[in-house]
Amino acid sequence: MGQHADLLRRLLSRRSVLVTGAAAATLPAAALGSVMTGNPPPAKAAGATRRVTIYAEALPGNLYGYGLAPGQATIPGPLLEMYEGDTLEVTLVNNTTQRLSIHPHGVDYSTESDGSPLHLSFNNPGETRVYTWRSREMSAAAGRRFMPGSAGYWHYHDHAMGTDHGTGGLIRGLYGGLIVRRRGDILPEKQFTVVFNDQMINNKIAPNAPMFEANLGQRVEWIAIGHGSLFHTFHLHAHRWADNRTGMLESTTDPSQVVDNKDLNPGNSFGFQVLAGEGVGPGVWMYHCHVQSHSDTGMVGLFLVRNADGSMPPGAQEAIDRYHGANHAAMQQATADAHGLAAPQFIAPPEVHGPDPARAHTHGD
C-alpha cells in the first residue's frame, strides 16, 4: 500500500507542475525539459491558445538546433505538448544565416503555417515568423464510426534548409518531439526523446549516444522519432509496452500487441510509458537500433535505472565503463564523414557513482 501511495503522490506532483496556468505553460517543465503548451485547469473547456517562442541557432560541429531562449538550442529541440482541442502558436526566431522553418506532424495548420518552401512558409536568415498549430478531439461519424483526433506522439522539424524538404536541417539537428494528449491521460515523471537520424541517435553515436536515467518505479515516457534515409527498429532492453497510442493496455481484453521492438523509419514517431525497472529491477539497460549493422556501428545508448533512493545499483558503473571503453573512434569518424559534419570528440565516461537527480537527461544533451 505504501508503494502505491508514494506513486500516486509523485504523479499528483507531476500533474501540479503542468496545470499552473497559461504563463507557466510556455516555460520548460522543471524536470522534463518539455513545454506543456495546452494544459488548462480542469474546469476549463478545450479551445485554449498557448504561445511559445523557439529560437533556431547554429551549434558547434556544423550543427543546428531549436531552443526556448537564445543560447539554449539543443538536439533534439524542446519537447512541445498540448491537449486535443487547443491551439499552439509557435513564434520561430531564425538566429542563423540559413533559410529554415518548423513543420509539424499530427496537427492541423494552414498553408501559411506549413513550414515548406512550396507555400513560401519559412524564415529567411534573421526573420521571425509565427506558425499556428491546431488540434481537435475525436468526433462521431456515420455508421457508428469515429474520426480520429490529434492525440498521439508526433514531431516537428525543419522543412527548408538545404533543399525544399529541409534535408540539410534534418541532417544537422533541426527536429524535436510533439505530444498531443487527451484530457485524462496519465502524465509521466520523466520524458526521453530518442531520434534515429540515419546512423545517429540525437546526432550522436556510441559511446557518446544519450544515457537516460530514472529511479526504480518512476513512470518514464519515451518519444521515438525517425529521420534520414535508412530503415531502423527501436528496441529497449528489459521493458515492454502495448503497441497503441499510449503504450498502456486499456483493459484486460485490450487486443493491442505487447512489444519491445518496433519499426522506426524516416518520418515515423511513436511513444509509450513504462515503469523503470518494473519486473527486472535496477541496472543498466541498452536501447538501440536492431538492424544489426546499425547497432554494430554505434546506434546504441544506455538507460540507467537507479535504485529507488537514487543510488547506483551493483554492477551499473562497471557496465557504463565498458560501454565507454569500447573502441568507437573509427565508426564516429565514418559517421561524421558521411554527413559532412565535424569530426566528433570523445567524451569521457560520466561520473555517476552517487545519486544525482540533476543528471536525469531528458534529451541527451
Q: Which of 35-44, 122-131, 159-168 has the lowest mean pLDDT?
A: 35-44
DSSP assignment of 282-326 equals SEEEEEEE-SHHHHHTT-EEEEEEE-TTSPPPTTHHHHHHHHHHS
Claim to verify: residue 177 and residue 230 sit in the same structural domain: no
Q: pLDDT tens digits for 171-208?
A: 999 999 999 999 999 999 999 999 999 999 999 999 99
Q: What is residue 141's predicted lDDT score, i.e. its pLDDT?
A: 85
- C-alpha to C-alpha distance for 365 and 355, rounded to whole angstroms: 19
pLDDT band at 143 (very low <50, low <70, confident <90, very high): confident
Q: pLDDT tens digits for 283-333?
A: 999 999 999 999 999 999 999 999 999 999 999 999 999 999 865 555 566
Claim to verify: residue 219 and residue 138 sit in the same structural domain: no
Does pLDDT of 19 surpass 50? no
Q: What is residue 347's predicted lDDT score, i.e. its pLDDT?
A: 41
Average pLDDT score over the chain: 84
- C-alpha to C-alpha distance for 35 and 242, rounded to whole angstroms: 25
Q: In what order do the strands lie in the sheet with 34-36?
A: 34-36, 79-83, 175-181, 152-157, 103-104
Q: Mark which of 185, 205, 236 sits at the end of a domain.
A: 185
pLDDT band at 11 (very low <50, low <70, confident <90, very high): very low
pLDDT band at 362 (very low <50, low <70, confident <90, very high): very low
Claim to verify: residue 212 and residue 145 sit in the same structural domain: no
Claim to verify: residue 150 and residue 229 sit in the same structural domain: no
Domain coverage including residue 275: 188-365
Q: Mark which of 146, 169, 185 sits at the end of a domain.
A: 185
What is the bridge-based pairing of β-strands 87-94 and 49-59? parallel
Q: For residue 273, give the nearest of 225, 322, 310, 223 by alpha carbon.
A: 223
Claim to verify: residue 139 and residue 202 sit in the same structural domain: no
Q: pLDDT tens digits for 52-79?
A: 999 999 999 999 999 999 999 999 999 9
Strand partners, 15: none
Find the CATH number of the domain harbouring 99: 2.60.40.420
pLDDT band at 144 (very low <50, low <70, confident <90, very high): confident
Q: Is the dihedral of CA 5, 7, 12, 17 positive or negative?
A: positive
Q: pLDDT tens digits for 239-292?
A: 999 999 999 999 999 999 999 999 999 999 999 999 999 999 999 999 999 999
Claim to verify: residue 253 and residue 145 sit in the same structural domain: no
Claim to verify: residue 346 and residue 216 sit in the same structural domain: yes
- Three-class SS of residue 118? helix
Claim to verify: residue 25 and residue 174 sit in the same structural domain: yes
Q: What is residue 332's predicted lDDT score, i.e. its pLDDT?
A: 60
DSSP assignment of 197-225 equals ETTEETTB-TTSS-EEEEETT-EEEEEEE
Claim to verify: residue 328 and residue 276 sit in the same structural domain: yes
Total structural domains within the chain: 2
Claim to verify: residue 26 and residue 149 sit in the same structural domain: yes
Identify the H or E element spanning 133: strand 128-134
